[in-house]
């Protein structure tokens, strides 16, 4: 099946894994905000900012930290053929930051979590599936196909470069 590229909607998001020694900064999102569980900071890319600027802005808004030297790690995308939407999540990693953590952030509690303990915490499956990829050499691309009628993911392909 082929689509006219102009008919496809693209939505861009970011995730930034902030590392401090053997720990990473994760947000414990409450159920009321959707996507509950632990996740790295991130969110929507605002027009016309660049994607990496969006990643840095989201970290600042959600945590209070100013990050720099972001390293691109990969893309995780969801394709919804029925809705003609492609969700693209650009993933970054950094260990360069300054500032103080927010005391009561609106997105959820902030926790420095040991990397080797993080996957034991409750988190969305899609974040769990890419968590270790942040710490591996190279980049990754994950493509997921969502079936709107079935209400679930029907395929997933991961490519490492």
pLDDT in tens, 29-83: 887 776 779 999 999 999 999 999 999 999 999 999 999 999 999 999 999 988 8
Per-residue model confidence as pLDDT tens digits over 128-156: 999 999 999 999 999 999 888 888 889 99
Say what the pLDDT of residue 1 is. 62
Q: What is the domain-level CATH number for residue 18?
A: 3.90.79.10
Counting the structural domains of the chain, the total is 1
Q: Can you spell out the DSSP letters for 71-106?
A: EEEEEEEEEETTTTEEEEEEEEEE-EEES---SS-T
Per-residue model confidence as pLDDT tens digits over 1-12: 677 878 889 999
Which comes out higher in pLDDT, residue 116 or 84?
A: 116
Query: Phi and psi (nearest 5°) for 114?
Result: -55, 135
Query: Which domain, by its residues, includes 117?
Result: 5-160
Assess whether pLDDT exceeds 80 at residue 122.
yes
Of the candidates 81, 83, 93, the residue with the CA atom closest to the CA atom of residue 144? 81
Per-residue model confidence as pLDDT tens digits over 21-35: 999 999 998 877 767
Of the candidates 73, 37, 47, 43, the residue with the CA atom closest to the CA atom of residue 56? 43
């Amino acid at each position: 099946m082929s689509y006219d590229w102009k008919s496809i909607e693209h939505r861009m998001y970011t995730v930034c894994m902030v590392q401090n020694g053997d720990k990473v900064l994760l947000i414990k999102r409450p159920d009321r905000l959707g996507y509950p569980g632990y996740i790295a900071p991130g969110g929507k890319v605002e027009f016309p900012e660049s994607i990496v600027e969006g990643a840095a802005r989201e970290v600042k808004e959600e945590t209070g930290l100013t990050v720099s030297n972001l390293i691109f790690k990969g893309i995780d995308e969801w394709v919804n053929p029925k809705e003609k939407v492609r969700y693209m999540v650009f993933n970054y990693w950094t260990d360069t930051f300054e500032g103080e953590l927010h005391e009561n952030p609106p997105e959820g509690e902030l926790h420095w979590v040991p990397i080797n303990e993080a996957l034991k915490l409750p988190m969305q499956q899609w974040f769990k599936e890419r968590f270790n990829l942040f710490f591996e050499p190279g980049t990754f691309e994950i493509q997921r196909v969502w079936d709107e009628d079935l209400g679930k993911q029907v395929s997933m392909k991961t490519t490492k470069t």
